[in-house]
A = this chain, B = another copy of it.
Amino acid sequence: MTVIDVDDPDDARVDDFRDLNSVDRRPDLPALPGGRVGKGLVIAEGVLVAQRMIASRFAPHAFLGVDKRLRELAGDLRGTELAGVPFYRASADVMAQVVGFHLNRGVLAVARRPQRLALSDVLAGARTVAVLEGVNDHENIGSIFRNAAGLGIDAVLFGAGCADPLYRRCVRVSMGHALLVPSAAFDDWPDGLDILHDNGFQTVSLTPEVSSPALAQALTDPVTEAPREKVAFLVGAEGPGLTRAVMRASHVRARIPMSRGTDSLNVATAAAIAFYERARTL
């Protein structure tokens, strides 16, 4: 890395890290067509997440951090094509003034958002995928990526109404897996679900409806009892759940058996249980 000391919080060279908590000015807002809104950057926070960004297709073009974290990351970049990337070294105080709050993880990496992956590319070779509709909470999306990585899910796909999966908080909660687990978005929703059907996926809508079959049952062929070759789990936001249109478009509904009188589980927890059940059948 090229180490550059930064003493002035107004230094324009660290503008990509400025005002990260600003609702309308943060640099990691998506760039919209016509150059509107954000800079379209992605921010990784902390050594572990920065390391995962380095290992991902999101190539960081700059770091901002304290000296201690510089030492921890130096080895990850040595001899790679990122070896010349600037590391803006600053005190914790200067960092806090740039970023807008005290950042206890001590280092940030920033990358430009690469082109989104094509759905067809992400599906090629995938055996189990998660499909999200209306999941508008960054922490839930981050948790779903983390659970997907841990429990063998090949891709996370986005239908309508979801929050930005590349927002800093989502990337952090995912432990960086939002940058590593293949991900794509549907252009048409819910009509695009046909792409899953055309590719041989059994689409399974997760629902708390007690009339739906239990999860385990939905994942095996009723005749041969063999596990389904390809499975796509569809999950909706806590509260409203999946829309009727998506439920109707899917092959089957499935529920996690729940105690009476309780709320449904958190969406990321329900997804984790579905991922576990799938891993269990394979």
Contacts and interface: CB of A to CB of B under 8 A. Distances in A.
B177 A143 contact: no
A259 B216 contact: no
A193 to B, nearest CB: 26
B152 A269 contact: no
A91 interface: no
Nearest to A208: B150
Contact of A259 (B150, B256, B277): B150
Given A272-B272, A272-B273, A273-B272, A279 B257 contact: yes
B147 A263 contact: no
A264 interface: yes
Contacts of A257: 279
Main secondary structure of the interface of A (DSSP, over half): helix
A149 B269 CA distance: 13
A258 interface: yes
A262 B216 contact: no
Interface of A: 143, 146-147, 149-152, 175, 177, 216, 256-259, 262-266, 268-269, 272-273, 276-277, 279-280
Contacts of A177: 262
B256 A276 contact: yes
Given A273-B272, A276-B273, A259 B146 contact: no
B279 A272 contact: no
A-B CB proximity, top 9 nearest: A150-B262, A149-B262, A273-B276, A269-B272, A152-B259, A150-B258, A150-B265, A175-B263, A150-B259
A64 to B, nearest CB: 24
Nearest to A261: B149
- Residue among A146, A150, A152 facing the most chain B CB atoms (10 A cut-off): A150
Nearest to A256: B276
23 contacts: A143-B266, A143-B269, A146-B263, A146-B266, A147-B265, A147-B269, A150-B258, A150-B259, A151-B256, A151-B258, A151-B259, A151-B265, A152-B259, A177-B262, A216-B280, A256-B276, A257-B279, A265-B272, A268-B269, A269-B269, A269-B272, A272-B273, A273-B273
